[in-house]
Each structure stands twice: as C-alpha cells, then as structure tokens.
A and B are shown apart, each in its own frame.
Chain A
Amino acid sequence: MDKPSAGMSKVGSRSTASLPPEPADIIRSMSCYRRVKLNVGGLPHEVLWRTLDRLPRTRLGKLRDCKTHEALMDICDDYNLDDNEYFFDRHPGAFTSILNFYRTGKLHMMEEMCALSFSQELDYWGVDEIYLESCCQARYHQKKEQMNEELKREADTLKDREGEEFDNTCCSEKKKKLWDLLEKPGSSVAAKILAIISILFIVLSTIALSLNTLPELQDTDEFGQTTDNPQLAHVEAVCIAWFTMEYILRFLSSPNKWKFFKGPLNVIDLLAILPYYVTIFLTESNKSVLQFQNVRRVVQIFRIMRILRILKLARHSTGLQSLGFTLRRSYNELGLLILFLAMGIMIFSSLVFFAEKDEDDTKFKSIPASFWWATITMTTVGYGDIYPKTLLGKIVGGLCCIAGVLVIALPIPIIVNNFSEFYKEQKRQEKAIKRREALERAKRNGSIVSMNVREAFSRGAELLDVVVMDKGERTQDNHLSPSRWKWSSKRATSETSSNRSFNPDQGSPNKATASSPQRLNAQKLEEMYNQMAKTQSQPNLNTKDRCTSRAGHRKDEIELGALPGPGDPLNGGREGVVDMKSLSSIDSYISCATDFQENPRFPYSSAGGLSFPESSRFSHSPGSGLSGRVRANPSLQPTMEHETMLTPPCSGAKPPNTEDLRQQSLLGNAHKMHSVRVNHRNCGETSPLGGPRSDSSILSDHSILSPEVSVYTTASSRTPPKTPEKKGSTGAVFTFHDASISKYIDADTDDEEHLRESGPSDRLLGGLSSKSRLTSAYQGGTNHLEAAQRLLGQNCLFPLGSSPGNAYENHVASENSRRPKGDRGYSSSFDKGL
C-alpha cells in the first residue's frame, strides 16, 4: 500500500503543476538516457531502451516511439520525464516475467500466477501467449482450459436456474410453489417431507418387488401359474399411484415441458411407472388364452423393468448423480478398461483352450466357452465351475490372475480421479446455491435492499456466452500474434480493454474534446480527497467493505456499460438523469438509506472500471486497497447530495434537479456520462421551488453539515459506516456482504471479461449511471433492463446544459494528474457538488 502511494505523490508533484511537456522534451528525454525506469504497480524496474526495442510491436516497444504527451499517456499510465520514469498501473508480479521476456527472449510464467490473470497481463503488454515456453505452456493452457470449463459450467447452471423462471401467467405463482415443493427439497419443510415420503415409497416398492418373488408368498392362479401376492400387489399399486401422481404434478408444474420430458431423471421416473401400466394394459386386453403365453413373456420383461425404480433414488442423492456423471465423463477410460479386459480375456481364453482341450471331459470346449473362465479369473471372482487341470493350464491361469489384477487396476485411478473431482465440484456448487438462496431469502425479508444478484448473475452468464461466441470472430489485433494462432479459439478471455485503449482509434473521440477521459480534474480531486479525509476518520474500516462490494458492482457497471453505442461517446451520454422517487415518509428515507449503501459503491466501481482495468483482478495488489478507501469517501458525497434534494417534503422539484443534472452532464460530456433518469413521481406535482434548495444540493459539504441531512443520515444508519457521525450502523448489510462475497468471487471471473469488453470510458459512464440505475431498480422495483430502455428513450431529455466555465475547469488540469486514475473516476461524480 505504501509503495504506490509514494509513487503517487512523487509523480503528482509534476502532473498537477504543469502543462503537458513538449514533444521535443519527450524526445530529448528519451534520447539522453540509455536506460528507462519503469514503475509497474509500485515496483521499480530499470531496463535498457534497446532491450525494449527487441519487441517493437508490444506496449513497451512502442513507448520509445511516442513523441507526444497523448501518445505517451496512451501507452503508460503516467510518466515523469525528469526522473525518466514511466508508471504502469499493472500487477507487478506478472511484469517481472514479461520484462524477462524482453531481456532473454524466453517467456516463462511464475508458478503461482493465475493463468487467466497472466493472459490478461500478456494482452495488456501486447505480448502474445504463443511465446510461452513449452515448459510453462502446458501448465498455462491446462489451467486456462480448466478455468474456462469451470466458467462454462457455472454459466450453464445459472442458465438452468434462469430457465426455471416462470412466465407471468395467472397461476404462475402456484406453479412455482408446486415446483419448488417437488423439485427443491431444501426450499421448505413441506418439500423436505415430500422428498422423504418419496424415498420411502421407492424403498417400499423395491422391497415389495423382491418379496413378490419368494415362492412362499406367491399365489397360483387358475392356470396353475404363479402370480403376485394380493397384499403385495396392493402395495405395488399404491406405490405406483404415488409415483404417477408425483410425475404428473412435476410435469404440470414444470416451466419447460419439453426440457422436463428430456431430463434423465424424469426419463427414469417414467420408465419406473410405465411398465406397470403396460402390464395392466396387456393382461386386460388379452384375456384370451390363445395369446396368453406370449403376453406373459412380455409381461415378464416389463416386470424386470420395474427394477428401474431403484434409480429414482438418484434424484435424492448427490452421490448417485455424481457417479452417473463420472461414468459419462470418463467413458474414455471405461472404454480403455473394457478394451484391456477384452484383450486379456481373448488371449488367456485361447491360451487356456489350447492348453486344456486335450483333457478328457474338459470344460474348455471352445474359445468362446473359455471366455467365461477368463472373465471370472481376471476379475478374481473365481466361482470354480470351470478351472484348468493340466499343468500348462494352471500356469496360464496363474498368469491370468495376475494380469487381471493389473489390467483392472490401471485405468481405475483415472476414473476415481474424475469422480472425486466432480464430487468436490458438486459439493461446492451445492454450497454456492445454498448461499444464493439464503441471500434471496434475506432479500425477500427486506433485510437487504436488492442488489438483484440473480439478475446480475444471469446477465453475467449471458454476457459470458456472448464473449464465448465473439471470440470466434475476433480479429487478431494482438500485436504479436501470428496470423494463424492455434489456441485463439480457446481463449475465452477476449480482447482486453487495455488492448483497446492501446489502440489509438478508441481513445480519439474523447481526445477531441478533452485530452482523454482518463484525465480529470486532479487538483479538485485532491482537494476533495483531503476534505473527505477529514470527515472520515475510519477509512480502514471501510476498505474491506469496499472490496466486498466491488465485485458486485462490477456487474452493474457492466450492464450499464453495454448500453451506450460505441460510436457516440460524445453525444450519447450528455445528459445526466437522476432517477428518484419522491420521498415523503421516513420509510422512504430509510429505503433511501439502504440505497445509500449501494450508491457509494458506484463511483467506486466506476473508478475501478476506468482506471484499473485490471484492478479488480488484483484485489490483493497493494494499490487497490488504498484506492478503494479513497474512493469510498467521495462516494458518500453524491448520495448525501441527493438526499438533501429530497429532504424538504415539497422539494424534489425540477429546477434543482435539472440544475444538478446539467452539472453532471458537464462532467459527462468529458466522459460521456449518461443514462440517469429523473423520475419525478411526486416531485413534479409539488411546487417548483428548487431555487434555494439547489445550493445545498450542489454543495456537498453543506449537505453534510446541514441539520436535515444529519437526521436522514441517522435514519440511514443501517448502512455501513462511512463517516464518524454514522457510526451507529449495524451489521445487517455488512453480513450480507460477507455472505455474498464468496459468491461474487465465484462469479468474479466472468465479470472481468465483461469489464474488459467495455472500453474505459464506457465503464466510467456506466459507473456513473449505475447509481441512478440502482436507485431506479431498487426503489422503483423496476428491473434493470427496463430502466435501461427508458434511459435510452430519454436520451435527449436534457440536452447538455453547458456552462462553459465548468467544462473548462474539467479539462484544464486533465493531464496533470498522476494519481491513480481511480481517483479521477470518482472525481467526476464528485464535481457535481461543486
């Protein structure tokens, strides 16, 4: 944590003060040193320029060719010409390996490095992964494939869960209840009881089936044939009735009939009940004695099929399911096992046949006949109905035993491995699902105001799919990638945002107005930060909270990031819109307060998205903790401001809002903020007296100090404490975070990809709007997509209320900042207050 901050301050000294250096300065600086200092995530490196020139198409290779400030800022995150130092806000660990690639020409990978994160680093630095040496390449691809597989599976399960969504028909509620009751034994006590009853019936029916074959219990019918015991037949009928009812109810309540019909467990269910009905049908319809024998044979076959009902237990046992899955997955190894056995049987049976065939009354009459012997011997069962008698035969037999043990033992560990892996995974997923359900229950109870995890999740899954699809058509714009890259199709992680930002085209629209979206008013920012630091006395307390929430937020920001068209960074996002419901009662304030807990995260996440394209990946990196804390502070501000706007019962009037929005949009035009919607439900009706209020709403410090606000902040005390005066908070939300964090981490990996999909500016704007989207989604109870559409629809509602001075201010200091850009990210939201 110290290192980056140290770097920051050092660097900041230059950036805040001066204008961008002249190209001549840059060129001079580059030519007068033979070496260059690279500061990557706080870790200083020193390297010869000519070492970097070895790979001229990579990011570091291009650094030398930069002649202007803009070009430099495109490549590195910050620089200091006097110190000949360039700062990159990346993970330092991976960079060591990458710099070694420049030095030695061999790309190796640190063992403890996550393959995915390493590949992202490679993308950022513009090095193609094909250069990985063979010794590390195998590990890399193995890990990567494993990861991708896991992600895909996760996405699949999510999709499955999504598939259970019920359409809004009249009885959907009941249907869903029934479905939960029958399919999810964990959902309620009744469901659990039902499951237990079902298991009991299965056991009972199998016992009855077995008892039926006891000769003592069998009756004889008029033809002298044995038939079922009448009592047991009754038991059977009852069981079948239960099974049938269960099946039909399941079928009726299932959201997707065809999928239900196809499901393997349901096929088993059907096979368990069908034979009974077929038997009845056959015996009833063919009463005539003529066909009776044939019918009887058929009936016998169906009777055997009844045994399938024992497989119904699979529904209630994870172990059985994973056994089935393992067998399905390791059919290769099973095939091998059978092949080995078959070969062994062939060889030994023919050997023993030739050894034994001259014996009198030998049982080895032919090779097929001795197959049985070989099988029984190789599996070491050894019934003893056939055994060799000659010396030669006995020798063959002995060899057969040992070979059998060997041959069976060999492929089994592989299958076992598969099984244990899957079993572990299953257990993990079960836990994850439980957590998710607990979370949802908590949400329903109202202890948490939405996060809409489910939705975010499903969206994540969809996006993942999109990514997976996209990767096929992705162009190879990686700098070093050869024209034919073998594994490209396997790379689920697609182009990084870093790559895009690297690409000059991407940044250009922004550059036209401001120098770049990444550079914001740093001075102001610092000021604000200091201010906030004063008000906030316990930053460390928040850090953890920040970290936990960030994963969740990325999701939101992704959704938002997807909204703006990539082509209209300037026009698309001019208007800031705030979506608010009027708050007339204390309840709504409380809900606002809970919301508040959401809000702070948005600037944070936006900042994360903007400046640390990969910071999310390296949440352990020294810098992120700090920046997290830093961002937490200003995030408070905007929310406060919004509350103040709402405080007077008759306020929430348009003028202040629009005013505010304009200011937002001023900022927004620098970095295309957009899509916040004003939803004046009640406010519009109340008298427009925004004038006086606008002051307090605009000046965030005032709002902190203003008495009304403090009232409301105490009302919002359920949120995690942000400032000293809100210390009274409790853990309701906190625990929520703790519980959910691991899940977020589970889902983390998908998000990264989406994150990187959207350009930095997209992310910024997404982050900005996310707050308001959150409010709209959570308060208004509308779903995200809807909100998004509305946003789009209202695009031109607030046509860029431009106050030139403000805009100017925005851009003046834009290139000075050498702080981590995370700060800049929030500054945008923050400036609203000024």
Chain B
Amino acid sequence: MRELPRVRYADCNSSEASEETVIAVNIGGVKHVLYGDMLNRYSETRLGQLADRATDCAQDLSALCDDYDSSKREFYFDRDPEAFRCIMELYYCGEIHMKRGICPMCFMREMDFWGIDAEYLDECCTSSLHEVETELAEIAEKVKTILDDLEGDATANRVQRCQVFLWKLMEKPESSLAARVIAIVSFVFVLLSSVVMCVGTIPELQVQNADGHLVEHPTLECIETACIIWFTVEYVLRFISSSNKVHFMFSFMNIVDFLAIMPFYVVLILTHLGTAMMELANVQQAVQALRIMRIARIFKLARHSSGIQTLTYALKSSLKELGLLLMYMGVGIFLFSALGYTMEQSHPETMFTSIPQSFWWAIITMTTVGYGDIYPKTTLGRCNAAVSFLCGVIAIALPIHPIINNFVIFYSKQRVLETAAKHEIELMALRAKEEVQGSPDDGKMAAQRTRASGGNSSGWDSAAVNASHSDTYIPLLGDTAKGSKRQPVHKCKDS
C-alpha cells in the first residue's frame, strides 16, 4: 500500500509533468476518472489537494479521502454522487450550478466538503440559496428568543427570579393562565378607554361646568381614570420587571404605552398648577392638544393582535414603496391641481380659487373618494378630472402591490416560523440528548466496529459532528453561552 503511490510518484516525475496524473475516484459508488491537471486548476479544493498529493503515502491521503483501494488506485469518498456531478462542473467549466431540486443548504454542505468556496456558485443559483439562508436566519432568531424565554437562570437570586416571573406574567400571555387573564383584561381596558374617549365627545352626553363650557360626563371621567390607573400600573410593572431599562424605554410599543398615559397626568398637573403659571386660555388649549394624544391608546391594541404587528412589520420593510406611493401621489396632486386650476379659470363661478386649494380636490379625485365639495364645471376641467382619476388609480395601485406582497409574505411566514422554530428546538434537544446518551453507547459500538472492520471511528466525523445541532443553529453557535443555551432546552424536554 505504501509502495504503490511512491512508484507512481516516480513515474510522475519521470514523465516530468503532473498532467499525466490520472486519479480514479469513487464517489459513493459512482466512479469517475479525473485528470490531475484539471484538478490542479483549483488546487485549494479537496480534489486539488488530492491531485497534489496523489503520490504521497496512503496515511496522508486518508485525511483527504474516506478509503483508498490500493489495488485499483481508487480513492473512495463517502459522499453524494449526484451532488458531485455538479461539483465537477467547477473543474470543467469554472462555475457550479446547483442540482435541480436539491436543498441549497445540503448542496452548500457538499461544497464545503469538497473545499469549494461558495462564491463559485453561479449567480443564477445563489438567489435560492440566499432565500433559504434568510429564512434560516429568521428561524434562528426565533429559536433564540424562545430559548431566551426558557432560560431559567438557576443562579439568579430571589429578586431576579421575581423579576423574571413578573416579566413573563406581563409580556408573555401564553406562558400561564394568569398572564393570559392579564392580557385579556388589558385588552378590555384598551377597548373601553377608546370607547369612552369617543363617547365623551358626543354633545348630548356632555355636561356644562361652572364656566359654561361643555366637559365630559363625570361617570365617563371616572372610567377614564380607572383605565389610566390600570395602564399606569401595567406600565410601571413592565418597567420594573424589564431587565434592560433603556431598551425598554425606547421600544416602540412602550413609547405608545407611555404616550397613552402621559397626557392624562400632564392635564392633571396643568389644571391644578398651570393656572398659577399661565393664562387660563392657554392652559385649556394645551389640554385640548394633549387630548388628541389619547388616540395613541388605540395603538396599544397592536400588542394584542399579531395582525397589526404584521402590518407594522410589512410597512416598515416596505418604506421605500410607501415613499414611492407618496411621491407618485405628490406629483399627481401638483400636476392635476395646477391643470385643474388653470382650466377652471374660464368659469365665472369656479370652485378652484387657488392652486393650493385645488390640492384638496386633486387628492379626493385621485383617491377616487370624490366628496363633491369641489368639482370642475368646464368641459376641459372635467376631462382633466377624468384623467386625474385614472392616473390616481394607477399611481396608487402600482406601488401598493409590493407592499401587499410584503404583507402576504409576512403573514404566511408568521405561522410557518412558529412551527419551524419549535421543530428546531426539538431537534436540538433530541441531538443534545443523543449526544449525552450516545457517548457511552458510541464507545461500545466503536469497539465493536473496530474489531469488525478495522475502521477508525464511529459517529460523524469532523465536519458533520458539530452536528449536534442543525444548520440553523450555526449562527447561534457563536454565542459563548453555547452550553448554557442548550441546557435549558434539555431541561425543559426532560421535565
């Protein structure tokens, strides 16, 4: 076994070129005959190294290939033969195309094995790879959050444990029955306060105060106060239980919460102290302005509805399209209001008194609302209106499509992600468990096998064996807390 390659080596030298090197490889049962010069084009790849060292002794080679048949001078690789066919294209054509139907991640693994950089993958195939990668990244993110939730810090002291408990109670409705009840109560309060806000403005339900101003009905005010108290308590508890106060303060939902309760207290302060500092009228104006901010509480609903969260997510990710929409609308409004203004000039009783005034008309026409408070009267103006209507429909419809697309994608992904993350966690737990159980088992097995086959190892080898987790887990691997991360899952599985 040792002799043969050396002889070859000598041969190669004598024929003064490695072009002559012919390498027979057996990839999972499919045999190929490869030429050394071709493989040397990419010498950093596994096959390239093989071609380099084909002449070395067998021991060195065993690191490169899985088995070596000295009689046939055949290198055996325990890999997917079909993927290898695609891999071979690199040597022939200089680029790789993925096998149709194969999972991109799987193919990347093959490329890894053969020591081929991902950049050799042709453009046409990278898009699908990226798609899968982003999906996996999302799943990993989700898994991470779930794991974070599960992480019960055993080292935590009493206060911290209380904090975590409170946090779960307030933020994770699905964690326990009490948390769910709290979520429902909170939802009801949001609805109630919104209704109260609306009903409070109905003139029939208002009462006159001492100054003859109409103010809200006292009972409504009581309800309002109750709601605000609930909101405040909720907010404070959340704040206390949050582990990262700064992060808490600046997250979107908490800003909304804050804005929902803040006006009430400001109004309270102003009415009690403000009169001393400024004019009564000013105070009242300020109070009025702050009232508008009460609307913010409607956004609190978003906390309880995944649909609205999806909407905000979709809108956030399609800001560009929204900008496009506004730009189209802006251009259209300018154009058609100016046109409408000039065309309507001839009419004596024109409703288009100025261009800024006809902006309103343009908006209403382009969005096909058409109140009819302003409408063109001349023929030319009507033609203009018709055109502006058509343009408006198109200007809205075009940029809206990508936004809708985003929304639909997020909407459908939301459900998939959930199951995928759960599956991922189970898979991780399973693998972790197997690792634990497997170690004694493996030992036994290994002994048995070695006796039988003279093989050198059992279990997955180097590349595969960081494999107690799946591909998705790899981004998480970077975490230093790898061990502690896997543990909680394990624990929760056992329990």
Q: Which residues of A contact B (CB under 8 A)?
A: 30-31, 34-35, 37-38, 44-51, 53-54, 56, 64, 96, 99-100, 103-106, 108-113, 130-138, 141-142, 335-336, 339-340, 343, 346-347, 349-351, 353-354, 357, 365-369, 371, 376-377, 380-384, 387, 394, 397-398, 401-402, 404-407, 409-411, 413-414, 417, 482, 484-487
Contacts and interface: CB of A to CB of B under 8 A. Distances in A.
Contacts of B314: 410
Given A31-B452, A413-B404, A384 B372 contact: yes
B422 A486 contact: yes
B364 A49 contact: no
A330 to B, nearest CB: 12
A347 B194 CA distance: 10
Contacts of B465: 105
A50 B203 contact: no
Contacts of A112: 100-101
Contact of B311 (A45, A113, A410, A484): A410
Q: Closest 4 CB pairs between A and B? A: A46-B29, A382-B369, A384-B372, A384-B371
Contact of A350 (B197, B305, B373): B197
B363 interface: yes
Given A108-B102, A413-B404, A384 B373 contact: yes
Given A44-B30, A103-B80, 13 more contacts: A45-B28, A103-B78, A108-B102, A134-B470, A135-B132, A346-B298, A349-B198, A351-B292, A367-B199, A371-B198, A402-B325, A402-B396, A405-B367
23 contacts: A34-B67, A34-B454, A45-B28, A48-B67, A104-B460, A108-B103, A111-B100, A135-B472, A137-B420, A138-B420, A339-B308, A340-B311, A357-B201, A367-B197, A367-B201, A367-B202, A368-B199, A368-B202, A401-B363, A401-B369, A402-B325, A414-B408, A417-B408
A657 B370 CA distance: 90
Contacts of B61: none
A100 B65 CA distance: 17
B445 A56 contact: yes
B301 to A, nearest CB: 7
A384 B373 CA distance: 6
B173 to A, nearest CB: 17
B261 interface: no
A136 B369 CA distance: 47
Interface stretch (B158-166, B262-270, B344-352, B424-432): B424-432
A111 B67 contact: no
B135 A366 contact: no
B379 interface: no
A131 B427 contact: yes
A357 B369 CA distance: 22
Nearest to B106: A108
B104 interface: yes
Given A56-B445, A108-B106, A133-B472, A383 B80 contact: no
B363 A397 contact: yes
A382 B371 contact: yes
B400 interface: yes
B360 A398 contact: yes
Contacts of B424: 134
Nearest to A37: B29
A98 to B, nearest CB: 11
A339 B307 contact: yes
A111 B194 contact: no
Chain A binding surface SS class: helix
Nearest to B424: A134
B225 interface: no
Contacts of B12: none
Contacts of A135: 103-105, 132, 135-136, 471-472
Contacts of B89: none
B325 A105 contact: no
A382 B400 contact: no
B408 A413 contact: yes
Given A99-B80, A401-B364, A367 B198 contact: yes
Contacts of B460: 54, 104-105
B187 interface: no
Contacts of B28: 45-47, 99, 103
B364 A382 contact: yes
Q: What is the predominant secondary structure among interface residues of chain B facing chain A?
A: helix
Given A367-B201, A410-B314, A110 B101 contact: yes
Nearest to B455: A50
A405 B369 CA distance: 10
B389 to A, nearest CB: 11
A351 B295 contact: yes
B243 interface: no
B168 to A, nearest CB: 22
B144 interface: no
A265 B362 CA distance: 47
A217 to B, nearest CB: 33
A35 B423 contact: no
B130 interface: no
A380 B369 contact: yes
Contact of A142 (B370, B416, B452, B458): B416
Given A108-B103, A343-B298, A382-B372, A354 B363 contact: no
B407 interface: yes
Interface in B57-93: 66-67, 76, 78-82
B244 interface: no
Contacts of A44: 29-30
Nearest to A51: B78
Given A353-B201, A402-B325, A410-B403, A130 B457 contact: no
A485 B131 CA distance: 28
B50 interface: no
Nearest to A349: B198
A249 to B, nearest CB: 46
Nearest to A348: B295
Contacts of B94: none
A556 B407 CA distance: 49
Contacts of B305: 339
A30 to B, nearest CB: 7
Contact of B82 (A96, A142, A339, A340): A96
A122 to B, nearest CB: 14
A384 B370 contact: yes
B455 A47 contact: no
Contacts of A350: 197-198, 292, 294-295
Nearest to B450: A50
Contacts of A56: 445
Contact of B29 (A47, A349, A367, A369): A47
A45 B29 contact: yes
Interface in B351-394: 360, 363-364, 367-373
A111 B107 CA distance: 13
A410 B367 CA distance: 16
B317 interface: no
Contacts of B81: 45
B464 interface: yes
B316 to A, nearest CB: 14
A384 B80 CA distance: 70
B71 to A, nearest CB: 13
B291 A106 contact: no
Contact of A382 (B370, B404, B429): B370
A409 B404 contact: yes
A402 B80 contact: no
A533 B151 CA distance: 70
Most B Cβ at <10 Å: residue of A110, A132, A349, A383 = A110
B275 interface: no
Interface string B188-206: 0000001001111111000
A45 B203 CA distance: 84
Contact of A340 (B100, B135, B307): B307
B493 A484 contact: yes
Contact of B455 (A34, A46, A131, A346): A34
A2 B371 CA distance: 76
B155 interface: no
